Amino acid sequence: MLTQDHPSTQQVSDMTNKLTIALAPGDGIGPEITRACLHIFKVAGVLDHVEFTEVDMGRKVFNEGDTRGMTDEAIETIEATGILYKGPMGTPIGGGGKSINVTLRKTFGAFANLRHFQTLPGVETVYSRAGVPVDFYVVRENVEDTYGGIEHRLTPDSYCAKRIITTPGCDQINRFAFETAKAFGIDKVTCGHKANIMKMTDGTFLDRFKFVAQDYPQIETEDVIIDALCMNLVLRPDKYKMIVLTNLQGDIVSDLAAGLVGGLGFAPSANIGDQISIFEAVHGTAPDIAGQDLANPTSLLLSGLIMLRHIGMRKTAAIIENSLLYTLESGVHTGDVKGKGQPVGTTDFAQAIADNLGKNPETIEGCTVPAKDELHHTPPVRPSANQIMTTHEQVETTVCGCDIFLQNILSPTELAAKLHRLTQSTPFKLTVISNRGTQVWPTGSPYTEMVNECCVRFELKEGTVIGQGPTVHLLAKVAEKFTVTDFIPIRMYDGVPGFSLAQGQ
C-alpha cells in the first residue's frame, strides 16, 4: 500500500504532542463506519498521538439553508489543521447546493486525487477467480475540467458547460503522479486522454504529461485514448501500474477500477494539496442500510491508512493494514462482500480487525512494517492572498477575431447574408457558421441537423491589426439585430491559433 510522505511536512520530535485532525462523520452510514474506524485506531494506539475534532458539514448543514454544506467553524478548523478525515456525505439533488465533496477539494486546493485498487484476500471478483492480479493507482486531477460547474442555458433548447483546463493545473497533477510513482517504486505511468477529439484541452494535458515526463527518465511512459483505456482495464487490468487523468475522465475510470476489485467499498481515496489534504470514503451514504450495522467500513479505513502514512505513522498503518488483510483472508467480512465465511456487521468486523492487530496475511504478501512511527505534519499558515499560478509568461498574443454565439432559426445562407450586410463597414469578415460544433456555412451538408443556437466566427480582414476593443464593438452591432448567447474573442498565441476548427471545416 501507500508509503509516501508528503514533501511539505515537517518532522515533530516530541511524540507526546498530539496532532489535531478535523473529522466529519458524514451522512447515512457515515457515522457508523467512522465509529468503526476510530475504534480500530484507538486499539492500535493512533489516538495516543492524534486528536480528532468533529466539524459540521453535509446534509444537516444543507438542511439549515447553508448552500456550501459546511459551517464557518468547519472551514476554520480544516484550515487550521490542514487535514480532514471524512465519511460519505449527501448533496441535495437539483437545487440547494453543489456537491460538498467537490466544494471541499476545490476550496482547499486538494488538486490530486490518489486511489489504489488492489485485489484483496477473501474478496471474490471475476479477476480473483481467474487468477488475474489487480494492483494499480489512479491519479485524478481534482479541481479543473467540467467540475467547475460553470453552466449556462443559452436558448430554450441549448445548454452549455464550460470545461477549463490550465497549464499550471496539468503540470501540478502530472508532476504529482511522477513524484508518487518515484516514491512508490512504480516504473510506468500511463496518461489517459481524449486528445484526438479535444485537441486543445486534452491536448494540453497530454503535452504537459510528456513535458513533465522528461524529468523522470527512469519511469516508462505511455498514453492511451480514454475509451480504449476503459476497454483495456476490463480486459487486462494487470498491465497498468499508475494512470493519470483529467477530472471527469478520472472520476469515471476510478469507479470502473473499483468495480474490478469488488466495489467502492474497497476503494480508498486521498485528496492531496500543497497545504490541505482530505481523506475520505468515496462511496455513497447508503441511507437504505443506515443505522442497521450492515455497512462496510473498509474504504474509509483504507483512506485512513493513507492519512496515517501521510502524517508519518507508517508502522501503525502497516500493522492495521496487515490485520485488515488477515481478517478478510480469514473469511470475516461484511454482507456486501462475495467470498467465503459468514458475513458480520460493521461493529463485529471492526472488532475482528482490532483483535487481529499484529497478525499478518498468509496467502498474500503483507505490508512491510517499519521499525517505528515518525510523526510529522505542519499545519498550514493561512496565506494573506490567493496564489495565482502561471506557466507561460512570455507569449506574444494577438487578437484575430471573435466567435459570437446566437439564438437563431434562419438557414445558414440567410443568416450569413444578414451578417455580411451588418458587418460590411467593419474590419471583420464572416468565415464560418457552425451548429453544435459542425460547419454548416460556407459549406456543409443539408443532412446536418441543427438546433436554434449557432456560432458565427468573424476573422480580421487581411492586413488588419487591432486590439480587443473592435471585437466588442462588433458584438454590439450584432446584438442590435440578434439574440447573443455567448461571446469569445479569438487570439493567436506565438503565431498558433488559440481556437479550434469546426467539425468539417
Judge whether 489 and 399 are in contact, CB under 8 Å: yes
Dist CA 484 CA 337 (whole Å): 55
> Could you give the angle at which helices 201-213 and 167-184 cross, rounded to 10 degrees?
40
Q: Which of 104, 419, 116 is nearest to 269 (CA)?
A: 116
Dist CA 209 CA 4 (whole Å): 21
Higher pLDDT, 174 or 336: 174
Tell how strand 50-54 and strand 159-161 pair up: unpaired
Cβ atoms within 10 Å of 314's Cβ, excluding its own: 24
How much is the pLDDT for 94? 59
Question: What type of residue sits at position 448?
Answer: T
Examine domains 112-272 and 397-497 and report if their fold is the same: no
Judge whether 419 and 478 are in contact, CB under 8 Å: yes
Tell me the whole-structure pTM to 2 decimals. 0.90
Which CATH superfamily does the domain covering 112-272 fall into?
Isopropylmalate Dehydrogenase (3.40.718.10)
DSSP code string of 267-309: -EEEEE-SS-EEEEE-S---TTTTTTT----HHHHHHHHHHHH
| 54 bridge partner residues | 23
How much is the pLDDT for 140? 98
Judge whether 49 and 307 are in contact, CB under 8 Å: no
Tens-digit pLDDT profile for residues 374-410: 998 889 999 999 989 999 988 999 999 999 999 999 9
How much is the pLDDT for 6? 35
Dist CA 430 CA 477 (whole Å): 14
Over residues 217-227, mean pLDDT:
98
Over residues 215-237, mean pLDDT:
98
How much is the pLDDT for 462? 87
Residue 19 cell numbers, joined = 496532532
Tens-digit pLDDT profile for residues 118-146: 999 999 999 999 999 999 999 999 999 99
Whether 96 has a pLDDT exceeding 60, the answer reads no
| 453 bridge partner residues | 407
The HSE-up count of residue 106 (CA atoms within 13 Å, CB side) is: 15
Please work out, in degrees rounded to the nearest 5, the angle formed at the alpha carbon of residue 300 by the alpha carbons of 92 and 227. Answer: 70
Neighbouring residues of 330: CB distance < 8 A, sequence distance ≥ 6: 122, 341, 352, 356
Under the banding of pLDDT at 50, 70 and 90, the label for residue 340 is: confident
Under the banding of pLDDT at 50, 70 and 90, the label for residue 5 is: very low
Question: What type of residue sits at position 263?
Answer: G
Q: Which of 38, 115, 121, 44 is nearest to 325 (CA)?
A: 121
| 278 bridge partner residues | 84, 271
The owner of cell 478548523 is 77
Under the banding of pLDDT at 50, 70 and 90, the label for residue 341 is: confident
CATH of 397-497, one of 3.30.70.1570, 3.30.70.20, 3.40.50.300, 3.60.15.10: 3.30.70.1570
Phi-psi region of 131 (alpha: psi -120 to 50; beta: other; left: phi over 0): left
Cβ atoms within 10 Å of 368's Cβ, excluding its own: 10
Q: How are strands ordered across the β-sheet holding 496-497?
A: 438-441, 428-435, 453-460, 397-407, 483-493, 496-497
Judge whether 108 and 227 are in contact, CB under 8 Å: no
Torsion over CA: 281, 1, 255, 141 (sign): positive
Q: Which of 23, 18, 13 is nearest to 49 (CA)?
A: 18
Percent of the chain with pLDDT strictly greater than 70: 96
| 281 bridge partner residues | 268
Dist CA 19 CA 11 (whole Å): 12
How much is the pLDDT for 338? 83
Q: Which of 430, 422, 403 is nearest to 487 (CA)?
A: 403
Judge whether 489 and 466 are in contact, CB under 8 Å: no
Dist CA 175 CA 17 (whole Å): 33
Tell how strand 188-193 and strand 220-225 pair up: parallel
Dist CA 306 CA 5 (whole Å): 10
Dist CA 81 CA 304 (whole Å): 16
Judge whether 258 and 277 are in contact, CB under 8 Å: no
Helix/strand/coil percentages in the chain, nearest 5: 35, 25, 45
Q: How many residues does the chain have?
A: 505
Torsion over CA: 30, 36, 40, 45 (sign): positive
How much is the pLDDT for 148? 84
The fold of the 16-111+275-392 domain, in CATH, is: Isopropylmalate Dehydrogenase (3.40.718)
Domain chopping of the chain, boundaries: 16-111+275-392, 112-272, 397-497
Dist CA 312 CA 309 (whole Å): 5
Phi and psi, residue 109, nearest 5°: 65, 30
Whether 331 has a pLDDT exceeding 70, the answer reads yes
